[in-house]
Structure 1
């Protein structure tokens, strides 16, 4: 079952990629059918809880398991993937490489299913790599447009730079003696090795989940198709980092410095990117910044030890954000723009899309009794025992969530104050297809109904399923405070939009705190300059020395050939000739006649006598 769970979408996705344009007409039907079957298998796996482990290398295994946490996630990934692929069937027209797109999406979903069921670092690394490659291909899907291709490259390079942390963690785990490189063994590593593993995991998770300072890649990811954004920002790529931290919460808890670092990283990201979302004039950019902020709550929960709270936030956010990105994509397809001031009144023009968008946005605002209100309360409650200051920062971030969500709702329902400018990005179709609209009500219902997690009995059952432990339940006053803060922030946002039309643009916040410019000027440009200097050093000094040595050797060889070869050769020939002549002379006395030999002996003896007399 586990092989089939991730193997089926992987095999079908690769087959579509290999088939290419020949499969364009059938790609949507094939991918949707595959997603339906995968959803059925994910539900069965969540009930049966299968596990497997096979040898990979000596002492290292390839392992998969569906436990309480992964059971919730595999179903969530399958549900969102199915909804997104149905929407994509209406997003792409004939001749738009549907086979390539649906193939990439299926392989992407397969990698996420492998990620959430992985029990060893080897399995996790394999899934991690595939996910990065697919995200690059999907963001830059329209690669003939230079900006989109560049955006895919930016996202790929930023996440890959952070992914190096996971390789460092794997190396440290291997050196520290983690049995089979299993995830469960990481918390028991010796001091030092455990610190390195925790640091690598946090770095990789922060990059994948677009937490500070890596958040800006998510802004560039908006250049991909809307269905890509819906999948990438909800239940897959961005959720993978927070899931990893929730899965490895025992490792964080065993490393004294890790929990506060992770918790404050999530809290600050939630607050800062919430402020970024408030001022965005592009609807997809608003939702992207919102994703960073909402994932920050999941990271905060992992640092505070609230595994169940973070998991609930992940599931609720997946349904909510996939809904919002799909509605934004439907308007973009119909009107050719995602500029918020030009989208005033579109909810009235497209009531199904507008109503479901409103449900998603109100859920995102954290208003009671909807899902994100319940899950954010659980996250905030988890912070109280460790650091009350985290509670206040999280509460402020929740207020910003209400502000930017209700600002968007107010704008799309307000009557246009001027003639809107449509078709600024591409010619709009002026309609929303059935494939695009049919998936919106189910997602809206799920996002709203998960507010049942606020019921103590339901929450206790969910916490036992996911974390095998009892997590604190918000007191009545905590729920009341968060609801009051969200309602106040929402009311203020509505009032500001109605009185002033919209919030004024804030340069630094509008440009995502200048994170991309900082990375380009302070990291990328110095790195490129250093590389150029090293390349010149290599060309002029290292390679020059090699070339100079070779040239000197050649010149010495030529000098030896021209000046010394005749002398040396003549000496050799002279010695050889002398030896040859001596050989000829030595043969002359050897006649074979005895009297001649006696004469020679007599001469020799006479010479010896003379020599003795003389000396």
Structure 2
């Protein structure tokens, strides 16, 4: 059954990619059918909890296993994938490369399913690589647009640079004695090697989940199609890094520094990218920065030991953020713009999309009794158990979440702009298709109903499924404080929008803290300069040495040919001539007359006699 779970999307996705455009007419129904089967299989494996292991190298296996944490994740991935593909069936027309799109999406989701069920480093690395490759293909899906292709490259290279950490971790695990490369063995490595493994895992996870300082690649990912953004930001690639940290929380806790570093990086990302989201003029950019911030809460939970809290927040965020991105995508397809000032009143024009978007925004704001209110407070409780400053930082980040979510909701319901600029990103259709519209209500219902986790008995059951240890839970004053903070922040943002039209723009925040420029100046440019210097060294020293050696050899050969060849040849000719003369002299005595032979014999014998007498 577990092979079936990961095999259906991987095999069907690959089959859709092979025929090219000939598969376009039936790509959508086939992909949706495969996803329905995947969802049904995910429910079965969540109940049965199977495990498989296949020998890869001697003593090293490719292993998959479903436990409580991965059971929750496989269902989440399948649910979100189904909603996203239903939406995409209504967005991509017959002129689009539908088979290529749906094929890549299925392979992408299949790689995530392998990631969340991987029990060995080998399986994790394979899935990690496929996810990276598929993200490049999907972000740059419209590859004829140079800007979009460049965005795919930036995202791919940034995450690939961080992915090297996972290879570092695998090598250190082997060197440290974890020969089977089981994920469960990593926390038991000896000191030193365990620290190296933890460092590699943290680096790879921070890059994949777009945490500081890697956050900028997620801004570039917005150049992909809206369904790609919805899947990538909610239940697959960006969530993979946070999931990895939650999965390997025992490894983080076993080191003296990793858990603390992870917790503070997550909290700082939640705060900084929350501020970035607050000032964005582009709706998809706002949601992208929000993703970095919300994943920061998951990373904070992993560092603080809140595996159940981080897992619950991951599920709630996956449902909420896929809903918001699909709603933004519906408006983009209809009106051809994602510029927030030009989307004023759009919720009134498309009420189903507007209503579901509002549910998502209120959920994202952390307003009770919806899901993120409950899960965010569980994360904050874990943070408070570790450090009061960490809790206060998380609470400030939660206030920013409420503010940017309220700002987006108020803008889309406010009075329409007198002269909006539509069709700036693409040619709008002025309608939302039934496929797009029908994908939204189930996600909105899920985002709201997961708030049942705030009920103590329900939370206890969930925590027992995904985590082995006891975790702190919020008390009444924590719920009350976070609710007050969320309502005050949301009300303040709404008041600013109503009175001033929108929040004031801050250029540095609007440009994602200038992280991409810093990465180019601090990493890309030095790396390019180093590469150019090494290329010159190769041309002038390595390749130049080879050319110089060849030139010296050629010159020496010419010298030998000019100076020695004639003497060698003359010597050979002289020897040949001497032997030729000796041969002519040797033929002279051969007369055929017997008396000549006797005379020659007498002469020879006489010579020998004289020689004997002399000697």
TM-score under structure 2 length normalisation: 0.96
Aligned counterpart in structure 1 of residue 606 of structure 2, from 594, 599, 602:
599
Does 224-233 or 451-460 show the bigger shift?
A: 451-460
User: Aligned equivalents of 2:606 and 2:588: distance in 1?
Assistant: 14
Q: Does residue 1:373 correspond to 2:373, yes or no?
A: yes
Distance 1:552 1:483, change over 3 A: same
Give the match's secondary structure for 2:4: helix
Preserved CA contact (<8 Å) 2:385 2:472: no
Give the match's secondary structure for 1:305: coil
2:71 alignment counterpart:
71
User: Aligned equivalents of 1:97 and 1:7: distance in 2?
Assistant: 23
Give the match's secondary structure for 2:513: helix
2:480 alignment counterpart:
480
Q: Does residue 1:467 correspond to 2:467, yes or no?
A: yes
Deviations 1:142-167 (CA, angstroms, capped at 9, x unpaired): 11111111111111110011111111
**Structure 1 residues 349-428: aligned runs within 5 Å:** 349-428=349-428
**Structure 1 residues 511-522: aligned runs within 5 Å:** 511-522=511-522
Preserved CA contact (<8 Å) 1:24 1:95: no
TM-score under structure 1 length normalisation: 0.96
**Structure 1 residues 519-558: aligned runs within 5 Å:** 519-558=519-558
2:343 alignment counterpart:
343
- After TM superposition, give the deviation of residue 192 of structure 1 in Å: 1.4
Preserved CA contact (<8 Å) 2:107 2:134: yes
Deviations 1:191-210 (CA, angstroms, capped at 9, x unpaired): 11111111111010000000
- After TM superposition, give the deviation of residue 529 of structure 1 in Å: 2.1
Give the match's secondary structure for 1:409: helix
Deviations 1:80-110 (CA, angstroms, capped at 9, x unpaired): 0000000000111112011111111011110
**Structure 1 residues 134-213: aligned runs within 5 Å:** 134-213=134-213
Q: Does residue 1:30 correspond to 2:37, yes or no?
A: no
Does 50-59 or 543-552 show the bigger shift?
A: 543-552
Does 306-315 or 541-550 show the bigger shift?
A: 541-550
Deviations 1:359-394 (CA, angstroms, capped at 9, x unpaired): 000000011111111111111111122222110100
User: Aligned equivalents of 1:419 and 1:587: distance in 2?
Assistant: 120
Deviations 1:318-363 (CA, angstroms, capped at 9, x unpaired): 0000000000000111111100001111111111111100000000
Deviations 1:36-81 (CA, angstroms, capped at 9, x unpaired): 0100000010001111111111010011111000000000000000
Give the match's secondary structure for 2:62: strand
- After TM superposition, give the deviation of residue 177 of structure 1 in Å: 1.6
Preserved CA contact (<8 Å) 1:46 1:72: yes
Give the match's secondary structure for 1:213: coil
- After TM superposition, give the deviation of residue 584 of structure 1 in Å: 7.9
Give the match's secondary structure for 1:64: strand
Give the match's secondary structure for 1:62: strand
Does 595-604 or 64-73 show the bigger shift?
A: 595-604
Preserved CA contact (<8 Å) 1:208 1:241: yes
User: Aligned equivalents of 2:193 and 2:574: distance in 1?
Assistant: 74
User: Aligned equivalents of 1:154 and 1:201: distance in 2?
Assistant: 21
User: Aligned equivalents of 1:71 and 1:267: distance in 2?
Assistant: 27
User: Aligned equivalents of 1:585 and 1:200: distance in 2?
Assistant: 90
Deviations 1:478-536 (CA, angstroms, capped at 9, x unpaired): 11111111111011101111111101111100000001111122221222122122212
Give the match's secondary structure for 1:63: strand
- After TM superposition, give the deviation of residue 585 of structure 1 in Å: 7.4
Give the match's secondary structure for 1:55: strand
- After TM superposition, give the deviation of residue 564 of structure 1 in Å: 1.6
1:613 alignment counterpart:
none
Preserved CA contact (<8 Å) 2:345 2:417: no
2:567 alignment counterpart:
567
User: Aligned equivalents of 1:469 and 1:542: distance in 2?
Assistant: 58
User: Aligned equivalents of 1:531 and 1:586: distance in 2?
Assistant: 76
2:85 alignment counterpart:
85
- After TM superposition, give the deviation of residue 18 of structure 1 in Å: 0.8
Preserved CA contact (<8 Å) 2:17 2:100: yes
Preserved CA contact (<8 Å) 1:460 1:470: no
How many residue pairs end up in the alignment?
608
- After TM superposition, give the deviation of residue 542 of structure 1 in Å: 2.3
- After TM superposition, give the deviation of residue 168 of structure 1 in Å: 0.9
- After TM superposition, give the deviation of residue 580 of structure 1 in Å: 6.6
- After TM superposition, give the deviation of residue 469 of structure 1 in Å: 2.0
2:594 alignment counterpart:
none
RMSD: 1.6
Preserved CA contact (<8 Å) 1:80 1:231: yes
